[in-house]
A = this chain, B = another copy of it.
Amino acid sequence: MNIGDAARASGVSAKMLRYYESIGLIPEAGRSASGYRTYGERDVATLRFIRRARDFGMPMERVKLLVGLWMDTQRPSREVKNLALRQVAELEARIAELTAMKQALADLAHACKGDSRPDCPILKDLAQETVTPAHPAHPKRSKTAGLRGH
Residues of A participating in the B interface, judged by any CB pair closer than 8 Å: 8-9, 11, 13, 45, 48-49, 52-57, 66, 69-70, 73-78, 80-82, 84-85, 87-88, 91-92, 94-95, 98-99, 101-102, 104-106, 108-109, 112-120, 122-123, 125-130, 132, 139, 141-142, 144, 146, 148
Given contacts A57-B101, A70-B123, 19 further A-B contacts (CB under 8 A): A8-B141, A9-B132, A48-B127, A49-B126, A55-B148, A56-B104, A56-B105, A66-B123, A66-B126, A76-B118, A77-B118, A80-B120, A81-B114, A81-B120, A81-B122, A88-B102, A88-B106, A88-B109, A91-B98
Can you give 23 contacting A-B residue pairs, CB < 8 Å?
A: A13-B146, A48-B129, A56-B101, A56-B105, A70-B127, A74-B118, A75-B118, A76-B118, A77-B114, A77-B117, A77-B118, A77-B122, A80-B112, A80-B122, A81-B112, A81-B120, A82-B114, A84-B122, A85-B109, A87-B105, A88-B106, A91-B102, A95-B98
